[in-house]
Amino acid sequence: MTNGSVALASERIAAYDFSGVSTVVDVAGGRGMIIASILKANPHLRGVLVDLPHVVAEAQGVIESEGVADRCEVRAADFFESVPSGGDAYVLKWIIHD
- Residues with catalytic roles: 97
Secondary structure letter of residue 34 according to DSSP: H
What gap in Å lies between CA 81 and CA 17, rounded to an integer? 29
Which residue intervals of the chain are DSSP H helices? 2-15, 33-41, 53-56, 59-65
